[in-house]
Amino acid sequence: MLYVLPALVILMVFEFWPIFFNIYISLWRWDVGPLNFVGLGNYRRLLLEGFITRDYNNELAVGEVLHSLIITIYYAVGRVPVTIALAFVLAYLLFVWVKRGRVILRTAYFLPYVTNSAAIALVFAWIFDARIGVMNALLERLGLPTLTWLNDPFPMTKRLIEMATGGMPESWANLAAGPSVAMVVIIIYSVWTSLGYNIVIYLAGLTSIPNELIEAARMDGANDWVILRRVIWPLVTPVTFFLLIANTIGAFQAFDPIYVLTRDLGFGRGGAGGPLETTLTVTVYIFRNFYERANAVGYAAAVALFLFLIILGLTVIQFRLFSKRVHYQ
């Protein structure tokens, strides 16, 4: 019993207690300590002004919370499917086709996952620099138009249309047109860092496929494509399902890459989420309220609980939608 005590005390204080304490804080206007009790006031603000508000022209506009939620969804939708698809293709090629150098290749793909930090994000900031970045130099060499990347608040879709037609469509709102160019850079960075983890998980799944199944399919005259489509893919659906859920949760909780890459672009000192708040995800929005705004700790706690419920809801929906399509051996 004594052996469990240290672990138990720390888990109680820093894992269990916070669930209740977070709810408690969210019922207050709170700075360093509690200021005054507001009951459900923070939640009312979150769900009313947070979703629909009025701008300086007194016209209806998207509220802060809804705005950050849309940004988060763009980030997740841009990051998760691309990561999983790339990881599956690369893991399949590595596992089935590569005999020599598999470990070396795996190590190379995995390296960004362990070095994922502020330090390495700065390398990306240089590569995608608007003025001197190597990405723009490459585009120029290929005869393509350059972009200002992390400084560009316009949606990628509008930029592409502008490149193709010479004019940018004005009729639809920027927020409705998908992630901004800056967010696309953050998505690229996130895919780069998380790809290795996904490949390794897929490799573990592929290793567990019984060889006899593939041999049997080959005996029956199946070619590689049929084996991939009818044998390998169904047998790794549990892995895909796990990765879908893990990556979605990871995307909704992401903070570091956005903070580090946009720190100088947001509003005020140390503000992240720029340019023009087009990378202001819910986590960055919580951080902003918690850390930079006065007396908004209680409100930030309310948003944190809201984010948790969103993630929980998404996970339940994914289970409902996909668990029937998962084949267990």
Partner 1 sequence: MTTEVATAPTTPSRSESRIVGQSQITLGVVLTYGVLLLGALIIVFPFIWMIFGSFKNIVESNAYPPTLLPEQWYPQNYVEAWLKPPNTLGRYIANSVLIATVGTGIQVAICALAAYAFSRLRFPGRDLLFMIVLATTMIPGEITLIPNFVTIRRFPLLGGNDLFGAGGSGLYDTYAAMILPGLVGAFNIFLLRQAFLTIPNEFWEAAQLDGCGSFGYLRRIVLPLSVPALLTVAIFGFIGRWNGLLWPLLITRSESIRPVQMAMIYYQNEFLTDFGMVMAASLMVTLPIVVLFLLLQRQFIEGIMSTGLKG
Considering beta carbons, is residue 52 or 312 the nearer one to partner 1?
A: 312
Considering beta carbons, is residue 178 or 250 the nearer one to partner 1?
A: 250
Q: What sign has the CA pseudo-torsion 263, 129, 112, 244?
A: positive
CA 53 to chain centre: 26
Q: How far is the CB of 240 from partner 1 (least distance, A)?
A: 13
Q: How far is the CB of 41 from partner 1 (least distance, A)?
A: 17
Considering beta carbons, is residue 123 or 317 the nearer one to partner 1?
A: 123
Considering beta carbons, is residue 106 or 159 the nearer one to partner 1?
A: 106
Q: How far is the CB of 306 from partner 1 (least distance, A)?
A: 10
Instruction: Tell me how far apart the alpha carbons of residues 296 and 238 are, in angstroms, rounded to a whole number.
Output: 42
Q: How far is the CB of 51 from partner 1 (least distance, A)?
A: 19
Instruction: Tell me how far apart the alpha carbons of residues 185 and 261 are, in angstroms, rounded to a whole number.
Output: 9
Considering beta carbons, is residue 154 or 287 the nearer one to partner 1?
A: 287
Q: How far is the CB of 176 from partner 1 (least distance, A)?
A: 27
Supply 267's token pair: 């509003």
Closest CA to 47 of 322, 320, 315, 309: 309
Q: How far is the CB of 300 from partner 1 (least distance, A)?
A: 6
Q: Looking at the DSSP assignment, which residues form a beta bridge with residue 60?
A: 54
CA 189 to chain centre: 10
> Residue 28: enclosing H or E segment and its boundaries?
strand 28-30
Considering beta carbons, is residue 53 or 146 the nearer one to partner 1?
A: 146
Supply 250's token pair: 């990871």
What is the maximal distance between C-alpha atoms in the chain?
74
